[in-house]
Amino acid sequence: MNPLSVKLRRLSLNNPILVASGTFGYAREMTAYVDFPALGGIIPKTVTPAPRAGNPPPRTVETASGMLNSIGLDNDGFDQFVAEKLPYLASLGTAVIVNIAAKTNDEFLRMAQVLNAAEGVAAVELNISCPNVSGGVDFGTNPELAADVVRTVCSAGPLPVIAKLTPNVTSVIPIAQAVADAGADAVSLINTFQGMAIDWKKRQPVLGNVLGGLSGPAIKPLALRIVWQVAQAVDIPIIGIGGIQCLDDVMEFLVAGASAVQIGTANFYNPQLSSQLVTELTDVLQQEGVSQISELVGTLTLPDRGN
């Protein structure tokens, strides 16, 4: 048995290292840097039913230990993705998890039906949590709406379904529980935190859309907290996301309760990181004296506070 293999209910991966949607393009851009078959999977840029121009520039700004982005789901639309991008992605020798976003259940259903009939798709990730567009994020802030989307997409066919959830709520736990009850195979935790940057001399926001999503190392402690809290409360596999830039970061997420992770912002400044992490994980197994990476998942031990 492959010691790095991961099982997320109906989804099997060769290892727990994935690349996050929106940070890896449609993979062609990364050909010179990444050994695609070595990865656990690729999650390409979010696609929507119709083409989107995205938000007005500036769309990104560097922050302390991170970045704000307000891309606005700029993409050429679902039909073009299926016709032009998906065949290439399916040829890369690793799991392809297609990330989709929409404003209605019917739009989600139509895309899911097409993907279930397409070649080379391993799973569907539902972007119900993007903080930079109107409409789509509403699904992810309401347990009932989130569950309805998951049920709808699950009804489209046998492909595994992953719900990518927002941290911009009082508690992620009720939403994670709702999508788990609705049939999701895993949850991706977390999408970006809503934030803003200001040029005080001009008295203006830096981003053209005013608000953006904060990612990078700055959010890792918050992401770890949410992964751990959901792992304690909800019986569903977790994919951890947020500020991962080295092996220790990966292991922190696994020990907190994530079965896999997604590399996001780090792809912009170290595009070889994902491939490197797969190699380094093998060494960890030997060091820890375990035969399977899953043996390390959720092994966080809390301090004994006595009576």
Residues serving a catalytic function are 130
**Cβ contact 75:48 at 8 Å:** yes
In angstroms, the CA 301 to CA 57 distance is 45
Strand partners, 186: 162
Burial environment of residue 2 by CB neighbours within 10 A (0 to 12, 13 to 18, 19 or more): exposed
**What is the three-state SS of 67-103?**
EEECCCCCECCHHHHHHHHHHHHHCCCCEEEEEECCC
In angstroms, the CA 240 to CA 243 distance is 10
Tell me the three state secondary structure of residue 272: coil
Of residues 31, 23, 73, the one with CA closest to residue 265: 23
**Strand 260-263 relative to strand 123-127, pairing:** unpaired
